[in-house]
Amino acid sequence: MKLHRTPHPPTCDREISSAEFWSSSFAEREETFRWLRENAPVSWHPPLEDPEVPASVHGEAGFWALTLAEDISFVSRNHEEFSSELGMPYLPPRAPGQPTMAPSILELDPPRHTDYRRALSSAFMPKTVRLLTEKIEQRAEQIVDRVVGAGSFDFVAEVSSKLPMLTVADLVGIPEDQINSFAEAGNNLVERHDPETLEKLPAGVTLQDWTNQQVGYLMGMGVELAEARRARPADDVMTRLVTTDVVGRTLNNEDIGIMMVLLSVAGNDTTKQTTSHTVVNLARHPEQRNWLLEDFDGRIMGAIEEFLRYATPVLHFARTATRDVTIRGTEITAGDKVGLFYCSGNRDSTVFSDPEKFDITRPPSKHVAFGGGGVHYCIGAGVAKAQLRALFRQILTKLPDLEVGEPEQLIGGGMNGIKRLPVTAGKATARW
């Protein structure tokens, strides 16, 4: 099948492909997405500009942008016509020959995906998640206790970034003394397109080298853990992963290494960004913070859905059409890349009333922050919600006078990211 078609369809005159577009704020980008939803919900665009893979090498023609929640769900739930394996499920173009390692679960279709998902599911079984939740609650308390009365500090470094990495570490059994370097490598991967990272690259190291170094480090860590559990099995997730026959064989070192790379990003930065955005949003809406505190246990789970919708930490993913399909009268040809813009789906006024308004009292409706459903729907959704519940219980009750400054936006990486958030926490213990 031809993956890079020519001639390509007429290009939409609203551009969403440049690095400049993705450097603007979420609200500025949303003006374009609103226009697309209303006027061209399925539109063709040139390939995303990517500092790692210049246009001269990737040879991609472009992609279809799907901007309505309904279409994002349709494609996400239809893996036979929209593959994650045929092309790559990411919007930035890939250079020929990439990736150099075996595909992760995100990059597979059934039946291979089903096998790997079953293997990974052992880490998300109810008993495991229950035990993990107890640990999450203890960790959340310790994290917030450390900053009570701390004065001015960066909320991202001291609070938002801590719990997700500790949770993934607890999940797979990363030793305490390696947790920080695990998180650092994961963050380096997510932040690699930010101009600050590009400026700080060591002399003679290209962005591709830098990326490979982080991936190599994380894979090595996974292999070490896997080998340790094969030698000394324990009652934990890693032991189950390396000893159970789930893909017609037990998972090998490479499988485990790739899982570590995926978890370091998928399980780490997403929850971190949701936390940072929500702290900003609740500070801007004290009446909602008070409403939540009036009945925290009764209201938090509904509120979390709005935290996620509003933050939409993962901005987009992609699929490749396996056959010709028509969506809203537009013919998508086999081999075409299709971008799923969760950031747009979560502002779709046909699903959410006043979609641009942060409103934790809104009735439950289906956001696409965890994907549009289907086989790749986020496997860590329950774990992410457990973290948000535990952390906001602590933040709201123990940091009553938190003053929240201006967030600094993370650029690139397909994330709605905040890289720094200055805050001040006094010693007061009264509730908000």
Binding site for ligand HEM (CB under 6 A): 76, 105-106, 117, 120, 168, 262-263, 266-267, 270-271, 274, 308, 313-314, 317, 369-372, 374, 376-380, 383-384
Nearest approach, Cβ of residue 200 and ligand HEM (Å): 27
Q: Shortest distance, CB of residue 30 to ligand HEM, whole angstroms?
A: 18
**Which CB sits closer to ligand HEM, 384 or 425?**
384
| Helices 179-190 and 253-266, packing angle to 10 deg | 70
DSSP H stretches of helix in 122-268:
126-147, 155, 162-172, 179-190, 195-200, 207-231, 237-243, 253-266
Q: Which residue sits closest to ligand HEM, CB atoms considered?
A: 380
Instruction: Tell me whether residue 338 or residue 384 sits nearer to ligand HEM (CB atom).
Output: 384
Beta carbon nearer to ligand HEM, 12 or 308: 308
Q: Are strands 337-341 and 63-66 parallel, antiparallel or unpaired?
A: parallel
Smallest gap from residue 73 Cβ to ligand HEM (A): 9
Shortest distance in whole angstroms from residue 256 CB to ligand HEM: 13
DSSP secondary structure of 160-182: ITHHHHHHHHHHHT--GGGHHHH
- Cβ-in-10-Å burial (0-12, 13-18, 19+) of 167 comes to buried
Please, what is the minimum distance in Å from the beta carbon of residue 164 to ligand HEM?
6
Pairing label, strands 422-425, 330-332: unpaired
Number of H helices and E strands in the chain, helices first, is 18, 12
**Nearer to ligand HEM among residue 17 and residue 271 (C-beta):** 271
Minimum distance from residue 270 beta carbon to ligand HEM (Å): 3
- For 135: left if phi > 0, alpha if psi spans -120 to 50, otherwise beta; the answer is alpha
Work out the angle at residue 373's Cα, subtended by the Cα atoms of residues 367 and 377, and round it to the nearest 5 degrees: 100
Nearest CB to ligand HEM, comparing residues 8 and 366: 366
Which is nearer to ligand HEM, 2 or 118 (by Cβ)? Answer: 118
- Least separation in angstroms between CB 378 and ligand HEM: 3
Distance CA 300, CA 307 (A): 10
Which residue lies nearer to ligand HEM by CB, 22 or 82?
82
Can you say whether the dihedral through the CA atoms of 221, 222, 227, 233 is positive or negative?
positive
